[in-house]
Amino acid sequence: MPPEVLHFRPLLPPLVQLSSVTTQPQENQPSSPKLSQGTKRMSLTKRELIPILVLILSVMSVLRLLSIIVSTSSSSHVLPGLSPGPQHRRFVLNAPETASSKKPTRPPSVTALTKKEFRVLSNLISQKVPCNLLIFGFQSQYLSLSSMNADGSTIFLEDDPDKLSEVRFSSNSTRIYRTGYNIPAKDAYELLKDARQNSDCAPTNPKMLRKSKCKLALKNLPAEVYEKNWDVLVVDGPNGDSPESPGRMAPIYTASVLARAGNVSDVVVHDVDRIIEKWFSWEFLCAENLLHSKGKLWHFRIDNFDSTRFCTDEIKTKQQKHSVRVKQSKMSSRDLKSHRE
């Protein structure tokens, strides 16, 4: 038995008929009133639908724009109870860092010597080996210096515990000690004024540094640091790259005293483009002892000892000559004081 064929009739007559199946209407055949009214009603609905859609989209766009403005303005205001002072700044600084926002702890200009600067230092060591080498601070570059001085004695004084845990020396002639540099860089101006007026800060026997009343003297170093006659001293630590971080005032002063224990000692100071390194080098290592400069590196040679002063009476004139030669402009005490801010 064949399946039943369902017969149905469309509720509405088709609005458009295919030309292949339509027949030409008879001239006297009247048009259907219902068909005309249905077509008119459908076309009217379409015309009304377009402005409605446009209105809906416009409203959605306005609402979206308002939500963006509200979220942006709320994020830019300080939360209730938080003033835009130091407490709020600490909150921002202590926020978790992403891979893109994370910054190195020290800028490259502070952490590394250029090739030319390191060549000056390595050439100096090669002329002195075997020697007693004392370095304030530690960088991986300096490992080659300790290897070069394998038959001598090399001591590093470093305050960063992370660096201490990573360093491994194969030679017993090289040692590294953790040293606390507790004087922030912002105190440099006051310390320099005090040292100029305090007789306890005059040149003294290095063995007396541990008992010195001078605020710039490092008194907590290993005993062998005070007892050895150092051939080369390098000051490249601590960081001193912000007002709150430990500065290099005390290492420069202490190196200048230790350098006067032997007959001839060479002192190398890095990052002398900064105010503290520059002015404390002028004050305690003296322009008259400056051999030459390379980049941010100054090389001093101490071959005289005076128990009353670090520099001679002609220091001002020689400072001016050296300042022109190394192309360093003389800065006023006011500029040095601004480093505290």
Residues 96-154 have pLDDT tens digits of 333 434 444 444 435 689 999 999 999 999 999 999 999 999 988 999 999 999 999 99
Asked if residue 121 is part of any domain, the answer here is yes
223/94: higher pLDDT = 223
Above 70 in pLDDT, residue 35?
no
Asked if residue 172 is part of any domain, the answer here is yes
Above 90 in pLDDT, residue 303?
no
Contacts 24+ apart (CB under 8 A), 140-149: 141/112, 141/113, 142/234, 145/121, 146/171, 146/173, 146/174, 147/171, 148/122, 149/125, 149/173, 149/174
Asked if residue 316 is part of any domain, the answer here is yes
Asked if residue 203 is part of any domain, the answer here is yes
Q: Which domain holds residue 210?
A: 116-338
Asked if residue 195 is part of any domain, the answer here is yes
Output the domain CATH number for residue 329.
3.40.50.150
Asked if residue 82 is part of any domain, the answer here is no
Q: Which of 22-31, 62-71, 170-179, 239-248 has the lowest mean pLDDT?
A: 22-31
Residues 167-179 have pLDDT tens digits of 666 567 899 999 9
Asked if residue 185 is part of any domain, the answer here is yes
Q: What percent of the chain has pLDDT over 70?
A: 63
Give the residue-averaged pLDDT of 84-92. Answer: 32
Q: Rounded to whole angstroms, how far apart are CA atoms 304 and 318? A: 16
| Tokens linked to 236 | 């490249």
Residues 217-231 have pLDDT tens digits of 999 999 999 999 999
Above 60 in pLDDT, residue 330?
no
Q: What secondary structure letter does DSSP report for 267?
A: E
Please state whether 127 falls in left (phi above 0), alpha (psi between -120 and 50) or beta.
alpha
For residue 263, the model assigns a pLDDT of: 80
Q: What secondary structure letter does DSSP report for 98?
A: P
| Residues 199, 205, 208, 209, Cα dihedral to 10° | 70
Above 70 in pLDDT, residue 37?
no
Above 90 in pLDDT, residue 268?
yes
Q: Rounded to whole angstroms, how far apart are CA atoms 228 and 206? A: 9
Asked if residue 80 is part of any domain, the answer here is no
Q: What secondary structure letter does DSSP report for 102?
A: -
CB 21 within 8 A of CB 47: no
Average pLDDT value for the chain: 75
For residue 336, the model assigns a pLDDT of: 52
339/301: higher pLDDT = 301
Total domains in the chain come to: 1
118 CB neighbour count, 10 Å cutoff: 19
207/30: higher pLDDT = 207
